Chains A and B, each alone.
Chain A
């Protein structure tokens, strides 16, 4: 039973999502259409990339999408970031998703792969920056 269904039944007890859950949800989110506000793609030294897109209603982020390289660790970090910022304002989202926050949330990721958290975080910040620039233009 999913967390949502469990809460829907009034239980309020749901298991914490695992790394594998984030990967599965992330791989589904990648296939969704790109949303209206698209950030600049970010790339790391090894050629992996991530790019977020957002839908805003007023000042609230109502939907988040992303495209990324198929590295599952990166997909999991991007999915986690997407979940964390949905329902928040842009400033709150920027405060919420730092690379350390992401890597602390998924401690099972081996140290050599934690740099993917930085890439996910940078890509999300790039999108937030894009919106902020447009708002001030």
Chain B
């Protein structure tokens, strides 16, 4: 099964759910499904900034597994981080996300 994750809530979503559950499982090839994309809202976009240790690990995994990483454009502009994201990580809105996933469509989209 293919899934895409939308990181929409804050709190421990990135530092715990992503960094301590999803990411280690992906790194160890035991997540159980194919992740085709991750989209980040609000402060969750800070994980995509160059130099962020979680983001750098995620970026490496995403490259190896062909996982789309995308930040919400308006969220990134508001936080003035749009030009500081990890190399090759785009920003966009729903049309960009759906367009980017169109060639590798997930079976489930999971909002976290």
Contacts and interface: CB of A to CB of B under 8 A. Distances in A.
A75 B67 CA distance: 29
Interface of B: 73-74, 77-78, 80, 82-83, 85, 90-91, 93, 95
A19 to B, nearest CB: 4
A108 B85 CA distance: 11
List the 5 closest A-B pairs by CB distance, nearest first: A19-B77, A20-B78, A108-B83, A72-B74, A108-B82
Interface of A: 18-20, 23, 70-73, 76, 107-110, 112-113
30 contacts: A18-B77, A18-B80, A19-B77, A19-B80, A19-B82, A20-B74, A20-B78, A20-B80, A23-B74, A23-B78, A70-B93, A71-B93, A71-B95, A72-B74, A72-B77, A72-B93, A73-B73, A76-B77, A107-B83, A108-B77, A108-B80, A108-B82, A108-B83, A109-B82, A109-B83, A110-B82, A110-B83, A110-B91, A113-B73, A113-B91
A108 B78 CA distance: 11
A107 B84 CA distance: 11
B94 to A, nearest CB: 10
Nearest to B92: A113
Nearest to B73: A72
Q: Which of B77, B91, B93 has its CB near the most chain A CB atoms (within 10 A)?
A: B77
A19 B73 CA distance: 11
B58 to A, nearest CB: 19
Contacts of B80: 18-20, 108
B93 A20 contact: no
A108 B49 CA distance: 13
B82 A112 contact: no
